[in-house]
Structure 1
């Protein structure tokens, strides 16, 4: 029996593999190669273990072995295995050999892996450099991964590989700074969203800007038997591939993750209309500029293009068209239009959405007047990669019985753990938010339940300080003490002046 491989060992090899690329290409790009290689190694080692098992069971009867293998979760042929690629590590065409293997894996598993690797090119001169450098990088990558054994019997649970994958995505996000924040929501922020939307068995769960899929996986994990249907869409091709691999590595084989621009081209449809979901979560790109470009016809001049509600066949912008430089409410409206009756949605947004005026103000007023807004939660600053700005969570619900909105200000310094590069939400911080949300209560300096009339009086402005007063009273000033301090300081000054005079005399000045 081989010794169990630990999470730490896997993480170390992955981080070592990252060193191969560091300084040569941007980490927001090389993560795609490392994570893809991890996936191939996992498929390979699982296949190899099954093959050994069947050889033993069927005494080497080829036909029965092949029949048994064809019923496995993933099918590989010998030239698609990691071992085959490793044996070719010194080949001058290694990039092309890896690409061909990926293509074969896709073709042999069309039902599951179709299109997973289409956005990842191991032979790209533009990204990996000219042949000699490229070959050196790929050889090194194969050698790093060759140290790892990812056989299911050695790894233990599937979670170990899934967690290693998550670990890398998180490390890359912090490494890549600004670029990183776009494809990753820190785990505790994901956990908070997941608990706020409380998915139930048989729910459809949706993330319209799903990045590498970590947030969707968190939400699915809230349901014990994981009997939920998962849907996502992602605009960036390579990130879309990572999301699919992430799902498989977490044992979710039936997730429907589409590739494309959710606003201009939503791909989850039913009878030509937007599909409806019981639970929606998202961390859309903050204040996305030119969000509506996908609606512009061919050859339209970017500068002259003006988005209008009539251009959207799904009529998502009837409450108002967001400003062209800020896509926040475009995503919110898309999600509200995709929400099933009694559905819940939670999304992370910049604070500007709470108070900005003009068209955003009108959209916000509509949403509030339709009683769709359930809560506004202010988060601590520095939680997200690449942006110091504090964000908030807006929580929406269809068919609400209550006519009020809960405001929570969880941004105070005792509501999170300070980190050097990044602040973190702890379990107690999340629990505090969830408790107050479930009880829907006003707590001094932390939360406030506002009536719709109060919000109307504020012209539908949702800025949290208008509702939750976190101002700390200063202690009254003791004037006698101040007087005493002043006279003490004056006496000290006199003393110093005397000394100065003495020194100047001695120096004959």
Structure 2
């Protein structure tokens, strides 16, 4: 039942984008649709709470709107709503009120009120002003943008069409995490349509699942879980932990995330709320991960760190960072043109001694020299690198290059490194635009990682001595030989096949010769030519 509801909700929400698709690309219209859906969710939550408190059998949102308008002067009701929610919306700023205005059901001074963009803008401002957590949350919903229409009326018409498309969609009383899953679905669809522009806010679900499950290996007995993503995008990677921990741990996950792009940061905040994460269980920050360390290590260290940072990102690499405790132990800094190891060391610094980190990076981190080579050597000699997992090309929306997952730990019991080559054609499903990991591909990687045993042409557990012999180069083909030798040729069988083929040719030629001899013509030139052909066949035989 839940699967059916999820599909229905996904279809309804995505169809609402039709009102915007012709006016702008997906990277822009996602802000409108996701923002308006989020507004409806906040508004509908309040209306259903009103029904629970003072309703007398009413069940619909339209009925709840009437009850709210009739009882808004009840101080006890208003007080109860404020204590229940961390935001407030008065009756003239709810989503349902705006729907009623659009449908011509609201009169002011005896005149039917018409919908104006300002009606929605005022509603957004009302929500944003009630709590610090909601400040600027709707900034990317550019309601007065000319992209919506050439004038105020056309802009209002466009937004009206979006609102009407989702007006009857139930997004509060859905089973399980249906709304959160639908929101994730929309984000993934926008990422697919946006292509390279989407890399900053979305990691494909199967890759997210792999990173999450890698960090959860051996954490079955945890009473609570602190998780961190220093390049969180839309928060989708963090939210995966809800799906793969025991139900008793689901409400004991504490999420920490940082994102430099304010639009994507706001998307992550919405995503957390729609997935039912309590404000007490999350701390998200809009900031530059590399420029200023966060969070303070005195505040928390993490059981799991997951990250899919921008590849080969340019950063300052200022000399002062050599005194930063994140980078100081390594004596060098990641190069200005490639911050891959800067992100890795930042996340690793914030890892608990019993924690696990999984990060997606380009293959260059495995073999590039100079400063990166020195950092890699230090990590290996400290026994910090636990596994190197090669992924197929073209998995991500932001790049088609093959990538690698590095798994790190602080207190390993040995120096070995598990190498897994999951990039071969047998380990993913080819798609028209994007390749995808399948469930069986994911499970094979996880099982191999847990067993830490060699698998022919797929995995190898390398000792530190082996890695030293390779001059600390971690390029996967040095450790996992995926070459498939050709089967030896049976020359006797080949000779027999050649003999058989030669006999078949002779038999066919004889049959053809017989048919040529049966041919006749009254034209002497034709017969002369036919006889010459017959003589040629007879000479060869």
TM range (shorter): 0.7 to 0.9
- Partner residue in 2 for 1:341: 353
Whole-angstrom distance in 1 between the partners of 2:135 and 2:244: 28
- Higher Cα Rg, which structure: 2
Greater mean alpha carbon deviation, residues 126-135 or residues 339-348? 126-135
Summarize the Cα distance change of 1:144–1:373 in structure 2 as closer, same or farther, 3 Å threshold: same
Is the Cα contact below 8 Å between 2:321 and 2:333 reproduced in 1? no
Is the Cα contact below 8 Å between 2:429 and 2:435 reproduced in 1? yes
- Partner residue in 2 for 1:79: 92
Greater mean alpha carbon deviation, residues 44-53 or residues 236-245? 44-53
- Partner residue in 1 for 2:295: 268
- Partner residue in 1 for 2:19: 20
Counterparts of residues 216-365 of structure 1 (less than 5 Å)? 216-224=238-246, 225-226=249-250, 227-254=252-279, 255-270=282-297, 276-288=301-313, 290-292=314-316, 307-311=317-321, 314-318=324-328, 319=330, 320-365=332-377
Is the Cα contact below 8 Å between 1:88 and 1:94 reproduced in 2? no
Whole-angstrom distance in 2 between the partners of 1:129 and 1:346: 48
1:209 paired to 2:231: yes
- Partner residue in 1 for 2:198: 180
- Partner residue in 1 for 2:6: 7
Whole-angstrom distance in 2 between the partners of 1:128 and 1:316: 49
Unaligned 5+ residue runs, structure 1? 293-306
Whole-angstrom distance in 2 between the partners of 1:503 and 1:103: 99
Q: CA deviation at 1:420?
A: 2.8
Q: TM-score, normalised by structure 1?
A: 0.85
Match of 2:210 among 180, 192, 195: 192
Q: How many residues align?
A: 483
- Partner residue in 2 for 1:367: 379
Is the Cα contact below 8 Å between 1:181 and 1:386 reproduced in 2? yes
Whole-angstrom distance in 1 between the partners of 2:44 and 2:129: 19
Match of 2:138 among 103, 112, 117: 117
Unaligned 5+ residue runs, structure 2? 58-66, 105-112, 517-525, 531-541
- Partner residue in 2 for 1:382: 394
- Partner residue in 2 for 1:298: none
3-state SS, counterpart of residue 221 of structure 1: helix
Is the Cα contact below 8 Å between 1:13 and 1:147 reproduced in 2? no
- Partner residue in 2 for 1:303: none
Whole-angstrom distance in 1 between the partners of 2:4 and 2:466: 58
Q: CA deviation at 1:126?
A: 6.5
Q: CA deviation at 1:471?
A: 1.0
- Partner residue in 2 for 1:36: 35
User: What RMSD in Å do the two structures reach over aligned CA positions?
Assistant: 3.3
